[in-house]
Amino acid sequence: MAAYDFTAPRLHVADDLVPGAVLPLERAQANYLLNVLRRGPDDPVLLFNGRDGEWRATLAQSGRKSADLVVREQTRPQTPRPDLQYLFAPLKSARLDYLAQKAVEMGAGTIRPVFTRYTQGERLNVERLRANALEAAEQCGILALPEISEAVRLPVALAALAPERLLVFCDEDAPLSDPIAALRAAADPAAPPPLAVLVGPEGGFAQEERALISARPNTVALSLGPRILRADTAAVAVLALVQSVLGDTR
């Protein structure tokens, strides 16, 4: 038997999840279940709220365009939010959507936009960022919702990092060396520290920004190879590296 039910649709709800609770569906959610997925009475739906784990519910149609969910039993207990911070220079909207979704899928527990000198504009829709993070959590079975922080300037973001947190700095000027060896040299994989990853804008970091980052103790500059990666591609690449060496997939 599969460890996870991939056949039942999964929804985030704000309500507390307890056995027997009856939760009215929002209109968009009802339309999605009744008309898009063609779900009927007693069909299972998985629910999570980021606090109470995951629960199985059944659908109870209350009208032609409305329905309730009846909470039945817990399928998975709540897991803690991953202690991995992802810091990034905001991108244009469509690629920012992708970045937010992939960061959540790769296990980022905190997503923190950081303004740098070469950031592509400083207008950021934080609610859209949250919506994309929530969508990724719904689709990928994630229980702990990531924290979406307000955007800050780079010096403020660096100052907010605890001294014991290892900062992995994606630096296009770092020597081309083995990134796995560099991570292992920076921290013990058997007892990894709390982690943060920083990816800059596609224009790169200004020299004074690079100097500021490099001057921070407990920081490792990492090259992602001989090719220049777009910022959203770099997000997936560096998070995969960090998680496989020092994170929760090692």
49 and 157 share a domain?
A: no
> In which residue are the tokens 């209109």 written?
27
- Which of 76, 111, 131 represents a domain boundary (last residue)? 76
- Which of 76, 103, 129 represents a domain boundary (last residue)? 76
97 and 37 share a domain?
A: no
Q: How far apart are CA 6 and CA 3, in angstroms?
A: 9
98 and 191 share a domain?
A: yes
pLDDT in tens, 82-128: 999 999 998 877 788 999 999 999 999 999 999 999 887 677 888 99
91 and 61 share a domain?
A: no
Q: Establish if 5 belongs to a structural domain.
A: no
In the structure encoding, which two tokens stand for residue 121, read together? Answer: 């504009």
123 and 241 share a domain?
A: yes
Q: Establish if 152 belongs to a structural domain.
A: yes
Q: What was the pLDDT predicted at 250?
A: 74
pTM, two decimals, is: 0.90
Return the bridge partners of 168, or none: 197, 220
Q: What was the pLDDT predicted at 1?
A: 46
- The residue among 125, 132, 87 whose CA lies nearest residue 105 is 132
45 and 121 share a domain?
A: no
Q: What was the pLDDT predicted at 124?
A: 86
Domain count, the chain: 2
Q: Establish if 88 belongs to a structural domain.
A: yes
69 and 88 share a domain?
A: no
User: Is the pLDDT at 198 greater than 90, yes or no?
Assistant: yes
CATH number reported for the structural domain that contains residue 236 in this entry: 3.40.1280.10
- Which of 76, 102, 129 represents a domain boundary (last residue)? 76
Task: Name the 3-class secondary structure at 76.
Answer: strand
Count helices and strands in the chain by DSSP H and E runs: 7, 12
Domain that includes residue 46, residue range:
10-76
The DSSP-derived string for 20-60 is: T-EEEPPHHHHHIIIIIS---TT-EEEEE-SSS-EEEEEEE
72 and 168 share a domain?
A: no
CATH number reported for the structural domain that contains residue 47 in this entry: 2.40.240.20
Q: Establish if 3 belongs to a structural domain.
A: no
User: Is the pLDDT at 249 greater than 90, yes or no?
Assistant: no
Q: Quick one: how far is CA 56 from the chain centroid? A: 24
* Other beta carbons within 10 Å of 247: 22
16 and 62 share a domain?
A: yes
Q: What is the mean pLDDT of residues 165-174?
A: 89
Q: Between 67 and 61, whose confidence is greater?
A: 67
135 and 224 share a domain?
A: yes
Burial of 123 (C-beta count, 10 Å sphere; 0-12/13-18/19+): exposed
150 and 235 share a domain?
A: yes
